[in-house]
Amino acid sequence: MLPNHSFSPDTRCTVLYIKHMVCPRGIRVVRYELESLGLRVLQVRLGAATVAGPATALDWARIREALAMAGFALLKTPKHVLATQVRHLVDELLRRPFTVAHRDVIAALAQEAGMGVRQLHGLFARLPGPGSLPGYIKHQRLAYAQELLEASPLSIGRIARQLGYSSLAHFSGQFRRFAQCAPSAYRQQQRVAPEAAVLDAEVPNSAS
């Protein structure tokens, strides 16, 4: 089951959940700050860092202060920790191609979280911010579709299958309501915008 605290069930290490880590530079800065405190950092990823040693041995006040000075915030309440863990699990599941069908995501999520589907629904409903679990999954799935349309050479039909949709029509309908345009139009818009920026940069300034 998902732990309701900010440390790993493995008492040999502790997981710190950290806000405002949004890019690789944040990962580097967090690692530097934690190592500066004398901690042995085992892993740092967006939103979390794992350090050696049990939670009871850590100086939480110093860690919180060091991260705050660097522009980050240490998550400390069970609700915040659970929200972060569930969201990470959702994002991880959606990025596993051809393994989780659209209708099976919640069941797979509950299995990985070690709880029943009804229990997971109830837990997520009490978390701050994201709303219902199906709504959050749908939003994240379509946001990931936008990423794939922007950066991937995959066809729209293949993207729909990769995201677990039963049909292209189902995917296109949901995407249209989410992005206010069809997937093909969204892809075209994203391709035109960089080209326009390049052309603008190449046009000499007539005033110079």
User: For the residues of the chain, what is the DSSP string, one character each?
Assistant: ---SSSS-SSTTEEEEEEES--SHHHHHHHHHHHHHTT--EEEEETTEEEEES-GGGS-HHHHHHHHHHTT-EE--SHHHHHHHHHHHHHHHHHTSTTTS-GGGHHHHHHHHHTS-HHHHHHHHHTSSSS--HHHHHHHHHHHHHHHHHHH----HHHHHHHTT-S-HHHHHHHHHHHHSS-HHHHHHHHHHHHHHHHHHHHSPPTT-
User: Residue 204 pLDDT > 80, yes or no?
Assistant: no
Whether 83 has a pLDDT exceeding 50, the answer reads yes
Q: What is the pLDDT of residue 136?
A: 87
**What pLDDT is attached to residue 182?**
97
Confidence of residue 81 (pLDDT cuts 50, 70, 90): low
Q: What is the pLDDT of residue 19?
A: 85
Top pLDDT among 206 and 119 is at: 119
Question: What is the per-residue pLDDT across 2-44, written as a single tens digit (0 to 9) for each?
Answer: 333 343 444 478 888 888 887 888 999 999 999 999 999 999 9
pLDDT number for residue 30: 95
Mean pLDDT for the stretch of residues 140-167: 92
Q: What is the pLDDT of residue 93?
A: 84
More confident site: 24 or 184? 184
The pLDDT of residue 2: 38
The reported pLDDT for the residue numbered 3 is 38
pLDDT in tens, 49-75: 999 987 778 888 899 999 999 999 987
pLDDT value for 77:
59
pLDDT at 10: 43
118-153 pLDDT, tens digit each = 888 887 777 666 578 888 888 989 999 999 999 999
Residues 160-180 have a mean pLDDT of 93
Is the model more confident about 125 or about 194? 125
